[in-house]
Homo-oligomer: A and B are copies of this chain.
């Protein structure tokens, strides 16, 4: 028996949409949230996938996330906008922000759109890919719960604030970078703590600011930024762009998703640049072909099979999982069935989507 249960994309997405709707999320919004979660599972970033359904709905039940996302357009210029998500769904606000950024970039060449008082919106790559598929450069960042110390500090005042940049490619699959500004994902430390495994030095520090290889001590302490001052500086600047500038929470005062019973009021920032305002799209794609070829042809260093462009792994996993199903752990699968029970949603659709396991 396989450890994982493989489920078809379409059925998983429709099932999650039904659960969200039954929980009180309007139909279109439920579809937007479900699409973002399933995309993350397809891409192999399960930490941002349907496992979040119960976390999200738990926070909604506590009144920390509004079921209906009322979005206010706070300020607007021809190339910028600021949205207030009023504690609604991060994905719903981000979908609107991306639409607005793309529309404005189409009108005046480029745009920056900020969102405040929002919530977790899935992977940053999901949003930049959407922009890239419109023939534009997409950029996205956001600030997250404080789990990372600034370089030289022992107090976590930073999220692992990700930066994503995506551009179109003639392959139809955007080249897309999505990087956290931490040295390692906190999820790996959580897993090591569960398994009583040590973690490598450089991943985290204790509450006292001392290097540690003890995963449990690390979880009480702080994740370390990517490459010391560089990742730390980048995380600070991204907190400023997505949090300070938008009027969202920022720094140490942002509530933690799992621990703090307060609305997070996360900030997001998006930019879109129309390729066409720099060069004809065909010329750009031909130049990208050369850049992609040059990079992938490496040649690889000893110990590596090949060299990849940012996003290659994401696209490969998505293709494989679209064809053969999305592997979910038995725990996550059971969580989904539980949610169906709680909200009175039939489980038939999910069960019919199972291809193996």
Contacts and interface: CB of A to CB of B under 8 A. Distances in A.
Contact of A155 (B209, B245, B298, B306): B298
B78 A78 contact: yes
A247 B295 contact: no
Contacts of A111: 79, 110
A309 B288 CA distance: 36
A215 to B, nearest CB: 19
Interface of A: 75, 77-80, 82, 105, 108-112, 114, 137, 149-155, 157, 163, 165, 167, 175, 177, 179, 183, 205, 208-210, 226-227, 229-231, 233-234, 236-237, 239-241, 244-247, 250-252, 271, 273-275, 277-279, 284, 287-288, 290-291, 294-295, 298-302, 304, 306-310
A245 B284 contact: yes
A183 B78 contact: no
Main SS class of interface, A: mixed
11 contacts: A77-B109, A78-B108, A78-B109, A152-B298, A153-B300, A154-B300, A155-B299, A210-B302, A226-B227, A236-B291, A245-B279
Contacts of A306: 152
Given A150-B298, A154-B300, A227-B231, 7 more contacts: A77-B274, A110-B111, A153-B298, A167-B240, A226-B231, A244-B291, A245-B279
A286 to B, nearest CB: 10
A307 B150 contact: yes
B79 A110 contact: yes
Contacts of A234: 163, 165, 177, 179
A134 B251 CA distance: 25
Contacts of A233: 177, 179, 310
Contacts of A278: 75, 80, 82, 114, 245-247
Given A109-B80, A236-B177, A75 B244 contact: no
A246 to B, nearest CB: 6
Given A149-B301, A154-B300, A301-B153, A247 B109 contact: no
Contact of A152 (B150, B236, B300): B300
A287 to B, nearest CB: 5
A294 B240 contact: no
Contact of A307 (B151, B165, B183, B226): B151
B247 A279 contact: yes
Contacts of A240: 167, 175, 288, 291
A306 B210 CA distance: 15
B299 A154 contact: yes
Contacts of A108: 77-80, 108
A13 to B, nearest CB: 28
Contact of A77 (B245, B277, B284, B304): B277
A149 B233 CA distance: 23
A267 to B, nearest CB: 10
Nearest to A285: B244
Given A82-B278, A240-B175, A244-B288, A307 B152 contact: yes
Contacts of A150: 295, 298, 307
